[in-house]
Structure formats: C-alpha cells, structure tokens
Amino acid sequence: MKIEALLSEKYIALDLEAENKNQVIERMLSLVAGHELVIDQEKLGEDVWKREREMSTGIGKNIGLPHAKTAAVTSPVLAMATFRQEIDFDAIDGQPVRLVFLLATPETMLAEHLKLLGRITRIAGKDEVRQRIVQASTPHEVLELLREEERDLPQI
C-alpha cells in the first residue's frame, strides 16, 4: 500500500492557517469529513484526540502525524496539509510543524498502520522532500513528488 494510492488531491490542503495544535488537528479532521471511507466522523475525531492525549504526534523535523487505529474508517484514510506558519505541536524535537499528515486505519490493520506511519516518516523525513512539499503550489505537485519518492520503495 503506497501513500500515493491513499492520498488524492482532494485530501491535500496547502498553505492553511492555524494558530495552535488544536486548530491544526481540527483542520485535518475537517479535511477528511465526507471521505467515502470515513463512516463515523465523530468517532474518528474522538480516536485521533485520544491518541494525541497519550503522546504528541509531533514526530520531529517539522512534521505532525496525528493518527488513530479506529472503527470509524473502513480502509486506511490519509490527508496532508501544509501550514502558512510554523505551529507548536509539542514535537519530540521541540521544533514547530508546517507539514501535517492525518492517518486513520481500521483497528484490524495494525501491521499496515505501523508500516504506513513508517513510510510517511521515511519519505517526509527527508529535508529536501519536506521543503519541496511545503513550497508546492498545487496538490498535484505534491502527489507527483510523493509518487517519485515512493517509486523505489517496496510495496507494503
């Protein structure tokens, strides 16, 4: 399962505004509202917030990765956004975020969930890739970049 297969232009938002981590997560949840694979938007929000309370999903390198294993989706759901300014996300490295991915997978897909988290981290963790995503002017440009980066990675 590749990132590019889960992510479509509809679920990529560029240059959003937010003042804090709570607004970032709410914007990400709004981005997937109405997604055909989301069967319970309220539960999705509850599960993402529950996970965030356990430990920040600010994974470092200016990346936020709120995620949940949840019965609120029927298959993996992924959204991505860039933000106009850096936002404090309680990241493990103390750095603010500008790039945020939201991942939700069914509770029964633990292995896939972990592999997708790793794949996102591996690709977005590259300085050049992050910079190009943040500077992208269209969702199509972001998808092409992800496609290019995933070309040589093994299928999961």
pLDDT along the chain (156 residues), means of 10: 89 96 96 96 98 94 96 97 94 95 96 93 94 96 93 67
Return the pLDDT at 153. 65
Matching residue, tokens 């897909």: 109
d(CA 14, CA 140): 11
Q: Catalogue the E-assigned strands of the chain.
A: 12-16, 58-60, 63-64, 67-69, 77-87, 97-105
Return the pLDDT at 5. 87
What homologous superfamily does CATH list for 3-150? Answer: Mannitol-specific EII; Chain A (3.40.930.10)
Return the pLDDT at 154. 64
Burial class (CB in 10 A: 0-12, 13-18, 19+), 102: buried
Return the pLDDT at 151. 83
Return the pLDDT at 156. 55
Return the pLDDT at 4. 83
Name the nearest CA neighbour of 6 among 80, 66, 67: 80
Characterize the bridge pairing of strands 63-64 and 97-105. parallel
